[in-house]
Amino acid sequence: MNTKNFSDYYPVYKDLSDQMKTNTSARNIGVTDHKKNLLTDMQNSETGFSESSAMLNARELTDTSLKLGFSPFQIIILLIKNAFEGHVFLTWQIRPGQLFEKGSFLFQSGPESMIHSFYKNFEKYRPGLNQVWNLLQEKVHGITGISFDLMVHTIVVNNLIRPPVSLVSLYDIRSFSDTLPTNQQAMDHSFKMVLLGEAALAEHEFIQRVNIIYEEKYKKFVHQLSLKEGVFSHYQRKLALSLSPEIKTEEELDDLMYKKLVEEQVNRKYPDSDKYVAGIQLSPETPESTLKFVNKTKAFYRSVSKNCSEIHSAADGESCFPELNSIFLKANSIYNQTVSNLSESLLQFMRMLLLLSEVVIFRKSKGYKISDNLQLIADFNSKQVLPDEELKLLHRNMDTILIDYRQKCFTDYKMKFVMDDDFTDLHNHFLQKQLEYIDQQIIQIQKDIKEVLKLKTDIPISKKDKKQ
């Protein structure tokens, strides 16, 4: 089950390959003979990763990354990504190349975020990362006095695992000085939020994907049913209006319907749903924890928009850049959704973050320039401790949001017909029956309307008769 258009994960081998290409072009514009030989050696080596999805061990990766000129901060991110890729391979036998193609979510009998699974098992990988950090400190001068824990925590809570490491090439590792006071409880809470956010995002993506695949698989019926649902709703409304005391004839009824339709169109602010309003709207009492996510979402929304600028700047941009157009529309839809509590703001943030990862990976893969100033590291050494009660409420509310969404989309219902091909024919058969049923209902409701109007015209006559 996979129809994902955009990759949401940029694997280590691609980061290395990109850097190698950058270095090669740098070589062409004049690098030392020594470096030229080094690059040639690497391209010819057994771990030639330029076009394959080979996996490296941590030492090899450290050495290679150093040779390619990655910053120590980028190397640590690469090591975490490498551990993630190892986790994915050991757990699901998925190689980095497949991860790049299919994304970091598994869509089988239910949703699963591979990143969530990795973070849940993160402590298993921490000793290995600590060892390589010690090794790196020996090899690179000037990276002493760094709080490794704070650095790793920052990488995790800012979700730097998904996008290419080239985006953080200018970040100074000395920001993570071990003299900075940290708050372990706040760090634990942020980590729990990341876990919750990833799990919620997986569920949300799953629901959306089931919708998309269902619509694709039962395209013919979905379209027809959608049209007929519209017609049926129209007549239901007409039947309701036909009962108004002042309505006596079909013409009056049609006029009233038209009037109501116009009123509705005039009063309706936004077409999709009353959940949608222009931009993120918040009440003055919005708690700080919610505001934090809202502000991060705003920043990411701006970054996504900047990275979709071609659709506005280029002639016929929407047609020439359909992928960017699709991302831009999705960003607006996420951004315009109202958020009233922490769980909604966290889910909104996670969705925007995923979209940002997708757009930068898309641009990187297509060779488009990525807009600067992405503000990827928005959460640095936060000391905000969420009260336990609020954390529990966050979990409960998130569950409720996702269950409601799942229910609204009939995900459990559609899932079977998406995944179990044995039921495709039977479902098609019943969808056809459903169409016929709606047709009958429409005919019936039309008769009902006529009956109502007829009854109304009959009543005065009978009353009159009685008087006589």
The distance of closest approach from Cβ of residue 438 to other proteins in the complex, given in angstroms and rounded to an integer, is 6
Provide the sign of the torsion angle of the four alpha carbons 68, 72, 77, 80, taken in this order: positive
**101 vs 215, which CB is nearer to other proteins?**
215
Angle at 103 between CA 102 and CA 108, to 5 degrees: 70
58-68 vs 72-92: helix crossing angle, rounded to 10: 140
Q: 277 vs 403, which CB is nearer to other proteins?
A: 403
Q: Closest CB to other proteins among 21 and 447?
A: 447
The smaller minimum CB distance to other proteins, of residues 135 and 438, is found at 438
**Shortest distance, CB of residue 467 to other proteins, whole angstroms?**
22
**Closest distance of CB 289 from other proteins, Å:** 19
Strands 111-113 and 105-107: antiparallel
Contacts 24+ apart (CB under 8 A), 41-46: 42/67, 42/68
- Exposed / middle / buried, residue 146 (Cβ in 10 Å: 0-12, 13-18, 19+): buried
Among residues 461, 430, 434, 464, which one has the least CA distance to residue 224? 434
Q: Measure the CA–CA gap between 15 and 133, rounded to whole angstroms.
A: 20
Is residue 197 within 8 Å of residue 115, measured between CB atoms?
no
Q: How far is CA 444 from CA 247, 434, 435, 449, in A?
A: 20, 15, 14, 9
Cα angle at 75 between 70 and 77, to 5 degrees? 125
In the complex with other proteins, the residue whose CB is nearer, 248 or 302, is 248
**C-alpha dist (Å) from residue 216 to 1, 45, 434, 436:** 12, 45, 18, 21
Q: Smallest gap, in angstroms, from Cβ of residue 211 to other proteins? A: 8
**Which tokens is 100 given?**
């790049």
Nearest CA-CA partner of 346 in 162, 185, 192, 207: 192
Minimum CB distance to other proteins, residue 417 (Å): 8
Q: How far is the CB of 333 from other proteins (least distance, A)?
A: 15
Kindly tell me which of 238 and 363 has the beta carbon lying closer to other proteins. 238
Nearest approach, Cβ of residue 218 and other proteins (Å): 8
Which residues form the interface with other proteins (CB under 8 A)? 211, 214-215, 218, 221-222, 225-226, 229, 232, 236, 239-245, 392, 395-396, 399-400, 403, 407-410, 412-413, 416, 422-423, 426-427, 430, 433-434, 437-438, 441, 444-445, 448, 451-452, 455
User: 365 or 434: whose CB is closer to other proteins?
Assistant: 434
Cβ 276 to other proteins shortest distance, Å = 16
Measured distance CA(334)–CA(358) in Å, rounded? 14
C-beta closer to other proteins: residue 256 or 377:
256
> Closer CB to other proteins, residue 186 or residue 445?
445
> Nearest approach, Cβ of 219 to other proteins (angstroms)?
11
DSSP string, 276-345: B-SS----TT--HHHHHHHHHHHHHHHHHHHTTTHHHHSTTHHHH-HHHHHHHHHHHHHHTB---SHHHH
